[in-house]
A and B are shown apart, each in its own frame.
Chain A
Amino acid sequence: MGKAVTRDVHWETRLWLAQRVSAAVLALCVIVHLITIIYATRGGLSGAEILARTRGNTAWLAFYVVFVLAVAVHVPIGLRAIATEWLRWSGASRDVLLAAFGVGLVVMGFRAAWAVFA
């Protein structure tokens, strides 16, 4: 088999692994996130209350950094399958755009996580 095929085979398999691992991380993160929402809104929801919990708290910052990274890995891979199957769009242009989209998710996610920390 040629090098291009080998690259393709490795790439597809690694993307699948990345999606599975990120899904496992997301499953945990979403559970923690939901439990926190339910717990935090028992006495009514206010911005001040949220900031009191997250501001200066490195544990929450670390949690949301992990959450954002898992989302940034997971979402573009899922969109890649949708682009292929529904839009019949494959090749480098699709992958470059989705990689950029993943970077965008990281930037926006980190910005949000930092905003409630700093």
Chain B
Amino acid sequence: MLQVSVWRGTEQGRYVEYEVPRQTSQTVLDVVTYIQRKLDSTLAYRYACRVGMCGSCAMTVNGVPRWTCRTHVSAVEHEGSTLQIAPLSNLPVVRDLATDMREFFDKWARAKGQYKSARTRRDDFAAVRPAAKETQARQAGIECIGCGVCYAACDVVGWRSDYLGPAALNRAWTLINDVRDDARAERLRAVAGDAGCHSCHTHVSCTEHCPKHISPTASIAGLKRATGAAVLWGKL
């Protein structure tokens, strides 16, 4: 049997203890699902794909933000006598383990995270050279699944809620390195203001915890260099 301690409530709440049968290859999401289906159907949590693609199921597991569908119990059970599961930090709690992700995704929009191009279907294919520096930089950050783990791990987001955060800035960096995109200047301006990329202190928590092994830290450093160069050349 596995002793599990789960956060119940909203911002105000408490940990409730449950006993869950231990199984082989059991994930933390399996544990939460067992509780919701067999022990207490009022438990609120969020998931969709169960295979690490959708970014819905991130939670704080033993104090660390993690994707629960790809986190095996065996990988975390040595960390304490009970398995502690809480909602992600730095986001408002809707109820129990479900957080309100609106602000997180609104910041993607604020960082101009939308692909923008004047190209139409009548234009020829864009030539994207795989070996080009821009393509390499874009590829390094493009696999983000928007799970919010980096955002929950970020100290700066905790200190100032208006900071755009690692995921939104990483998204902006991938678009800045997209040769088909037309909104480079607009996007650099969107990320360079107060609470933008310069607020990052390079604590590297986002990179440390990203389940996709992306380095938002490197992306943000790229944005700092790009905005710095742009302001020096009068292009910001």
Contacts and interface: CB of A to CB of B under 8 A. Distances in A.
A8 B198 contact: no
Contacts of A15: 198
A57 B9 CA distance: 69
Interface residues of A, number: 19
Contacts of B160: 84-85, 88
Interface of A: 1, 5-6, 8-10, 12-17, 20, 81, 84-86, 88, 90
Interface of B: 156, 159-160, 186, 189, 192-194, 196, 198-199, 201, 224, 227-228, 230-232, 236
A16 to B, nearest CB: 4
Contacts of B159: 84-86
A20 B194 CA distance: 17
A17 B224 CA distance: 9
A5 B192 CA distance: 10
Given A5-B189, A84-B159, 16 more contacts: A1-B186, A5-B193, A6-B189, A12-B196, A13-B192, A13-B228, A13-B236, A15-B198, A16-B198, A16-B224, A17-B228, A17-B231, A85-B156, A85-B159, A86-B159, A88-B160
B228 A9 contact: no
Contacts of B194: 8, 12, 90
A68 B45 CA distance: 55
Contacts of A8: 193-194
A13 B231 CA distance: 7
A15 B231 CA distance: 11
